[in-house]
């Protein structure tokens, strides 16, 4: 089962405590829609690895943390007793002492991404960079003809980490980590670094122009300005700010003189020297930080599944399936099935709205799964956004029926039915979904008696 969370934004003020038990309480929190100005509730969703069919739905208070929600989702999944569910795949929020301890305690498989801030990931990435070669796990063709093959190399290692059990015990347990290097991810990170560096360079240029235009009467004022720019000014507390990630900026003070206005009015004497003023300026030296190519493309996964049960390639594939299961479902919920923030008055109605949304996602996922399965089994393809495809989305399948039209009209005691726009791929979709294809086989300009019903 693939697990993830998202937020649903709401307007209005709600009661602190919902009347119905288990109903979510709208609250302010970290919005995944960028609407921190609105209250929200947390939608927790678990879908199947085969087709992304919704299996479990949870509604939580708007300020619930993802790391707190994941153990609750696992407990609910176990309580449902779903057959065929042998493990859970989740993002980096699932990597915590409590979640890992729960999966070890319940003998449940877990595959999750280790956050970059964890010491164990930094250590394992450094270990991977020191290896001459890593075994090839997955290889896929490039997305375009000119793109090289995408490769994922990796290897499992065992490290001892802290885990927390249900009784509160915190112990050291051996955990399996999969260190992976992706050529595709390395290319994406390199391109992202270059684009971000170019964007930051524009801001640095404006900053340099502003700083070097300042004039200081004494050296102490110039040094104080440098301290302020570098976050070392008087009265500052906490961490120093780091506004620039791709450039190193250094300041130094230089003594200069500049021409100033004359103190007296009138025309100066021909031989009189121009009035000058001594002072200080700041010189800003900018260094463009190089992107360390060897640091790009690394990923570390943590799993409670033994290597003898599930090899490295299957663990990697299970995590990559997040992009084709739960994440597309959330994209569909946000758009085109997105509902603008509304005032629902009662938390019970919020829970009902979430249930209807997930039921719609269930229908959407079933259509997509069945069509893809039929096309793969019968070696067929449908028209897609960019030519023929064997893996259309449900949105593409539904859009195929837009030009189909059935017009029925009565002339005296006879009904005339005119059907247009039907193509062979429409009947193919009907076969895939188990629909009666006779709905789309009405002959053109066929006449019916008034007592005969058309589909």
Q: Can you tell me the distance from the alpha carbon of 317 to that of 163, in angstroms, rounded to the nearest whole number?
A: 25
Residue with tokens 């070696």: 379
Q: Can you tell me the distance from the alpha carbon of 255 to that of 278, in angstroms, rounded to the nearest whole number?
A: 7
pLDDT of residue 122: 93
Contact at 8 Å (CB) between 2 and 52?
A: yes
For residue 197, the SS3 value is helix
Reported as a single tens digit per residue, the pLDDT across 362-387 is 999 999 999 999 999 999 999 988 88
For strand 109-113 and strand 87-90, is the pairing parallel, antiparallel, or unpaired? parallel
pLDDT of residue 205: 94
Nearest to 329, CA basis, from 20, 56, 13, 26: 56
pLDDT of residue 95: 92
How would you label 356-378 residue by residue, b for 16+ Cβ within 10 Å and e otherwise?
ebbeebbebbbbbbbbbebbeee
Tell whether the model's pLDDT for residue 416 goes beyond 70: yes
Reported as a single tens digit per residue, the pLDDT across 230-271 is 877 666 665 666 678 899 999 999 999 988 888 778 788 888
Strand pairing partners for 13?
none
Strand pairing partners for 158?
176
Reported as a single tens digit per residue, the pLDDT across 201-220 is 999 999 999 999 999 999 99
Q: Can you tell me the distance from the alpha carbon of 32 to that of 12, in angstroms, rounded to the nearest whole number?
A: 19
Of the listed ranges 17-31, 103-117, 193-207, 270-284, the one predicted with least confidence: 17-31
pLDDT of residue 112: 94
For residue 401, the SS3 value is coil
452's tokens: 């005969």
Nearest to 40, CA basis, from 14, 3, 69: 14
Q: Can you tell me the distance from the alpha carbon of 57 to that of 420, in angstroms, rounded to the nearest whole number?
A: 41
Better-scored residue on pLDDT, 254 or 346: 254
For residue 93, the SS3 value is helix
For the whole prediction, is pTM greater than 0.75? Answer: yes
First vs last C-alpha separation in the chain: 39
Going along the chain from its start, the domains and CATH numbers come out as 2-181+299-365 (3.90.350), 190-288 (no CATH), 401-449 (no CATH)
Distance of CA 397 to the CA centre of its chain: 25
Better-scored residue on pLDDT, 38 or 302: 302
pLDDT of residue 334: 76
SS3 content of the chain, % helix, strand, coil (to 5): 35, 25, 40
Q: Can you tell me the distance from the alpha carbon of 341 to that of 359, in angstroms, rounded to the nearest whole number?
A: 19
């Amino acid at each position: 089962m693939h697990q993830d969370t998202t937020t649903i934004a709401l307007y209005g003020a709600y009661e602190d405590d919902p009347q119905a038990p288990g109903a979510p309480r709208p609250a302010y929190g970290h919005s995944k829609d960028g609407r921190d100005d609105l209250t929200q509730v947390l939608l927790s969703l678990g879908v199947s690895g085969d087709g992304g069919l919704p299996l479990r739905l949870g509604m939580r208070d708007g300020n619930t943390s993802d790391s707190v929600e994941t153990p609750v989702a696992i407990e609910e999944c176990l309580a449902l007793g779903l057959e065929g569910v042998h493990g859970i795949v989740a993002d980096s929020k699932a990597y915590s002492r409590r979640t890992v301890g729960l999966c070890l305690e319940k003998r449940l498989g877990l595959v999750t991404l280790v956050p970059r801030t964890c010491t164990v990931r930094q250590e394992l990435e450094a270990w991977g960079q020191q290896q001459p070669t890593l075994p090839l796990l997955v290889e896929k063709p490039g997305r375009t003809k000119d793109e090289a093959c995408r490769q994922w190399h990796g290897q499992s290692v065992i490290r001892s980490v802290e885990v927390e059990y249900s009784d509160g015990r915190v112990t050291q347990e051996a955990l399996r980590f999969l260190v992976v290097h992706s050529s595709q991810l390395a290319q994406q990170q390199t391109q992202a670094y270059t684009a971000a560096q170019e964007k930051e360079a524009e801001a640095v240029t404006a900053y340099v122009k502003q700083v070097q235009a300042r004039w200081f009467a004494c050296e102490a004022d110039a040094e104080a300005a440098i301290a302020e720019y570098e976050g070392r000014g008087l009265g500052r507390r906490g961490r120093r700010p780091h506004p620039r990630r791709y450039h190193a900026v250094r300041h130094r003070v230089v003594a200069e003189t500049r021409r100033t206005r004359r103190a007296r009015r009138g025309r100066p004497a021909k031989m009189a020297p121009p009035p000058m003023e001594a002072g200080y300026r700041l010189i800003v030296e900018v260094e463009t930080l190089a992107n360390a190519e060897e640091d790009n493309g690394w990923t570390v996964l943590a799993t409670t599944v033994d290597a003898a049960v599930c090899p490295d390639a299957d663990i990697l594939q299970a995590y990559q399936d997040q992009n084709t299961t739960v994440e597309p479902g959330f994209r569909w919920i946000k758009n085109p099935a997105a509902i603008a923030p509304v005032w629902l008055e009662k938390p019970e109605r919020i829970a009902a709205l979430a249930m209807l949304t997930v039921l719609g996602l269930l229908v959407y996922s079933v259509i997509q799964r069945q069509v893809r399965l039929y096309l793969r089994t019968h070696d067929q393809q449908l028209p897609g956004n960019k030519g023929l495809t064997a893996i259309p989305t449900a949105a593409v399948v539904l859009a195929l029926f837009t030009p189909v039209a059935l017009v029925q009209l009565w002339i005296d005691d006879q009904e005339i039915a005119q059907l247009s726009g039907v193509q062979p791929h429409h009947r193919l979709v009907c076969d895939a979904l188990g629909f009666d294809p006779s709905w789309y086989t009405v002959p053109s300009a066929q006449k019916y008696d008034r007592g005969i019903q058309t589909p």
